[in-house]
Amino acid sequence: IEQTAYQNDKLAMLGKISASIAHEIRNPLTSIRGFIQLLRPHLVSLGKDEYARIILTEIDRANDIIYEFLNSSKPSAPETKIVSVSSLLKEVVLLTESEALMKGCQINLHTDKTPPAFISVDVKQIKQVILNIIKNALDAINEHHDENITGMIDISARDTGKHINICISDNGGGMDQNTLNHLFNPFFTTKESGTGLGLSVSYSIIRNHGGTIAVDSQVGAGTEFVITFPKLDVSEV
Ligand code: ADP
């Protein structure tokens, strides 16, 4: 599936728009944060420190979301580092575990079967790509929840000799042909509150790394994403 120049232009424009919106939202958030801190002693004296704590946590979360969004909508040249595939995957899975648990979904990481493999990547960006894919899998499992089937996400890595493949599969609702044709397009979403950006941004990130991202899906059966990275020579590790 090729992303056209038009789609890349769209993504670049989005990067600019979101950067200015993010900036405008951050300013009021900073002043809200400051005033809550000023009010905090009063809330404490009313025995309501918990409220202040929640407000501050949520403001920080909003800031984090803006930061992530800013980063994600303008994929820059990767700042690469050599990392172990299994430790990278472990870290990402750890981030998604609480959400998976809440949704009654099981995430199985099969790194013990993986031979030690290293890739040269921008860790933050690649974590974001894998997170996007896992979140989509969780959504797909959630939307088509069948009481009799445990939602399952399987993550593994394979060394094909020339490449390192990371496979992420789910037993969610799968995708129809129309979705498969468009899923990497910016703004394409089938979700009520989706942005349709996760996969288009992921696509750009993987391409910037000299890799590929492929998908195989069947309605009612599930979906598998395979990210392929160039394999490093042993001498490079
Ligand atoms: P968003 O999640 O905001 O919709 P994405 O770019 O991440 O944006 O995904 C685009 C669309 O691809 C989703 O709306 C969904 O229809 C489809 N999709 C992605 N991953 C999966 C999956 N694992 N199972 C089923 N559909 C998926």
| More confident position, 150 or 17 | 150
Read off the pLDDT band of 203 (50, 70, 90). very high
Contacts of 31 (CB under 8 A, 6+ apart): none
Centre of ligand 1 to C-alpha 47, Å, is 44
Centre of ligand 1 to C-alpha 132, Å, is 9
In the numeric block, the tokens 């974001």 are attached to 128
Centre of ligand 1 to C-alpha 160, Å, is 27
**Which residue, by CA, sits nearest to atom 8 of ligand 1?**
196
- C-beta atoms surrounding 68 within 10 Å: 13
| CA distance linking residue 136 with residue 197, whole number of Å | 11
**Which residue, by CA, sits nearest to atom 20 of ligand 1?**
136
For the segment 60-117, what is each residue's pLDDT rounded down to a tens digit? 988 887 877 676 655 566 788 999 999 999 999 999 988 899 889 999 999 776 677 8
**Which residue, by CA, sits nearest to atom 12 of ligand 1?**
183
For the segment 147-201, what is each residue's pLDDT rounded down to a tens digit? 778 999 999 999 998 899 999 999 999 999 999 999 999 889 999 988 898 999 8
The pLDDT score that the predictor gives to residue 49 is 92
Contacts of 73 (CB under 8 A, 6+ apart): 11, 14, 15, 18, 19, 197, 201
Q: What is the atom index within ligand 1 of the atom nearest the CA of 190?
A: 14
Contact 141, 105 (CB under 8 A): yes
Contact 124, 80 (CB under 8 A): no
Contacts of 13 (CB under 8 A, 6+ apart): none
The pLDDT score that the predictor gives to residue 14 is 73
For the segment 27-41, what is each residue's pLDDT rounded down to a tens digit? 899 999 999 999 999
Q: Is 15 in the pocket of ligand 1 (CB under 6 A)?
A: no
Centre of ligand 1 to C-alpha 143, Å, is 11
Contact 166, 226 (CB under 8 A): yes
Predicted confidence (pLDDT) at residue 217 exceeds the cutoff of 80: yes
Q: Is 229 in the pocket of ligand 1 (CB under 6 A)?
A: no
Read off the pLDDT band of 1 (50, 70, 90). very low
Q: What is the atom index within ligand 1 of the atom nearest the CA of 222?
A: 24
Computed over every residue of the chain, the mean pLDDT equals: 87
- Long-range contact list for 175-179, CB < 8 A, 24+ apart? 175/215, 175/217, 175/219, 175/223, 176/219, 179/217
How far does Cα 32 stand from its chain's mean position? 28
Centre of ligand 1 to C-alpha 75, Å, is 19
**Which residue, by CA, sits nearest to atom 17 of ligand 1?**
183
Centre of ligand 1 to C-alpha 72, Å, is 16
Question: Mean pLDDT over residues 47-57, rounded?
Answer: 93
